[in-house]
Amino acid sequence: MSEELQNVQVGIIGAGPAGLLLSLLLARVGITSVVLEARSRDYCEGRIRAGVLEAGTVELLDRLGLGERLHREGIVHNGVDLRFNGESHRIDLPALTGKSVMVYGQHEVVKDLIEARIAAGDPLEFEVSALSIAEVTSARPTISYRDRHGNARTVRCDFIAGCDGFHGPSRQAIPADVLRVYERVYPYAWLGILSESPAITGELIYVNHERGFALFSQRSHLVQRMYLQCAQDENIEAWPDERIWDELRARVAGNDVPDLVSGPILQRGITPMRSFVAEPMRYGNLFLAGDSAHIVPPTGAKGMNLAIADVTILAEAMRAYYADGTAHELETYSETCLRRIWKVERFSWWMTAMFHRDENDDAFGHRLQQAELDYLSTSRSAQTALAENYVGLPLRV
């Protein structure tokens, strides 16, 4: 079959939160796009990942008309508990910032975005293969691929948005002598479970314990999402249900905490811990957004929110360009995003370092960690700094 050529203003690679949201933001101002995704729709909608939404993310989804199910099924959190030495210390988010966060799974956000894209009748292709990017420094770069039926396709566009994650092809299209990579791999991982059991509390609990970090959160009133710090090379088969529940109870034990009720474990997995930033986020007419440009450890719940901030900035830059030919925001896109990204990287690194037990650290380091937590539990100024970062920094910082 002969190759089919599509002409759009923006070619978007990746149907995760970043790519899908960008497509909707562009459509609202009349900018045409196509979204291409290597995975199936079922995979994209079924991949369970963290889902703490910053206040700004919730406001944006509301403006796009995507808040109905979010507010019906999501859980508002007005605080987080920091737990160490067997005691909890609550950070009151509204009292400190006037804002809250919402717990709503990333896969649920993706479902809502996919439904909105399809309802609008705009191009969205799943299960594409052999995708390649060319001519990104030209006025009309191209994306070549095969659709789910094996037919050769080419997209010619003004701009390419690489929203295809850490392992996608977009970042690889930037020459090695241009791209700068900053990375830190942490010497531990998370063992995460999804369980059918009542939530231990109504808000997240971050635990610093001599046996390692633990996190207690919920996806609904009957489904919990919980994590345990484990070895970097941990074997999931070494963790039967009983061991997981015993370890969760051991790490949360102490004063003022309800009993942890066990239940069927629906899903389990190991999550590696990494901080990663690639600069610049623009090369020619190729723009990176989300995990293709940066990764944060999940401790601060920032991954999806950071991706959404990227594409919000990119959509506004493209709107300005098509509305009046102003290219300044496109030219400064990378600089604008990276200023915020590095602040979020700092916060995620700080939360990670404060709560995890590093076996390579010495007794002095462990005492400093305890002093940091003690200061945080008693200083309103320190709590305000945490709360401001947790509910979400402004887009432009």
| Statement to judge: residues 203 and 121 lie in one domain | no
Q: Residue 52 has what pLDDT?
A: 94
Can you tell me the distance from the alpha carbon of 117 to that of 202, in angstroms, rounded to the nearest whole number?
33
Count the residues in the chain: 397
Can you tell me the distance from the alpha carbon of 183 to that of 394, in angstroms, rounded to the nearest whole number?
24
In CATH, what number is assigned to the domain containing residue 164? 3.50.50.60
Can you tell me the distance from the alpha carbon of 307 to that of 310, in angstroms, rounded to the nearest whole number?
5
Buried-exposed string 313-326: b where 16+ CB fall within 10 A, e elsewhere: bbbbbbbbbeeeee
- Closest by CA to 350, choosing from 242, 206, 244, is 206
| Statement to judge: residues 205 and 165 lie in one domain | no
Q: Residue 246 has what pLDDT?
A: 96
Can you tell me the distance from the alpha carbon of 129 to that of 157, in angstroms, rounded to the nearest whole number?
19
| Statement to judge: residues 245 and 292 lie in one domain | no
Integer angstrom CA distances of residue 71 from 97, 196, 210, 212: 21, 22, 38, 34
Contacts 24+ apart (CB under 8 A), 44-48: 44/15, 44/16, 44/107, 44/110, 44/114, 44/126, 45/107, 45/110, 45/111, 45/114, 46/107, 47/106, 47/107, 47/110, 48/105, 48/106, 48/107, 48/194, 48/267
Residue 397 is assigned to a structural domain of this protein: no
Q: Residue 388, exposed/middle/buried by CB under 10 A (0-12, 13-18, 19+)?
A: middle
What is the SS3 assignment for 101? strand
| Statement to judge: residues 267 and 140 lie in one domain | no
| Statement to judge: residues 287 and 314 lie in one domain | yes
| Statement to judge: residues 335 and 194 lie in one domain | no
Residue 285 is assigned to a structural domain of this protein: yes
Can you tell me the distance from the alpha carbon of 212 to that of 358, in angstroms, rounded to the nearest whole number?
8
Can you tell me the distance from the alpha carbon of 337 to that of 315, in angstroms, rounded to the nearest whole number?
12
In CATH, what number is assigned to the domain containing residue 378? 3.30.9.10
Quick one: how many helices (H) and strands (E) in the chain? 12, 21
Q: How many CB atoms lie within 10 A of CB 389?
A: 20
Residue 86 is assigned to a structural domain of this protein: no
Q: Residue 3 has what pLDDT?
A: 67
Can you tell me the distance from the alpha carbon of 32 to that of 24, in angstroms, rounded to the nearest whole number?
10
Residue 95 is assigned to a structural domain of this protein: no
| Statement to judge: residues 379 and 318 lie in one domain | no
Can you tell me the distance from the alpha carbon of 309 to that of 345, in angstroms, rounded to the nearest whole number?
14
Residue 261 is assigned to a structural domain of this protein: yes
| 185 half-sphere exposure, CB direction, 13 A CA radius | 6
Residue 88 is assigned to a structural domain of this protein: no
| Statement to judge: residues 335 and 201 lie in one domain | no
Name the pTM for this structure: 0.94
Domain of residue 159: give its range.
4-76+101-182+274-352
Active site residues: 77, 206, 298, 302, 390
How distant is the alpha carbon of residue 170 from its chain centre?
18
Beta strands (DSSP E) in 33-99 are: 33-36, 52-53, 75-77, 79-84, 87-92
H/E stretch holding 260: none
| Statement to judge: residues 111 and 176 lie in one domain | yes
Integer angstrom CA distances of residue 291 from 54, 110, 163, 242, 356: 17, 15, 7, 34, 23
Can you tell me the distance from the alpha carbon of 143 to that of 13, in angstroms, rounded to the nearest whole number?
9
- Domains: count for the chain: 2
Would you give per-residue pLDDT tens digits along the chain (397 residues)?
446 778 999 999 999 999 999 999 999 999 999 999 999 999 999 887 778 999 999 999 999 999 999 999 999 999 999 999 999 999 999 999 999 999 998 999 999 999 999 999 999 999 999 999 999 999 999 999 999 999 999 999 999 999 999 999 999 999 999 999 999 999 999 999 999 998 888 899 999 999 999 999 987 778 889 999 999 999 999 999 999 999 999 999 998 888 899 999 999 999 999 999 999 999 999 999 999 999 999 999 999 999 999 999 999 999 999 999 999 999 999 999 999 999 999 999 999 999 999 988 999 999 999 999 999 999 999 999 999 999 999 998 8
Q: Residue 180, exposed/middle/buried by CB under 10 A (0-12, 13-18, 19+)?
A: exposed
| Statement to judge: residues 346 and 372 lie in one domain | no
Can you tell me the distance from the alpha carbon of 91 to that of 100, in angstroms, rounded to the nearest whole number?
11
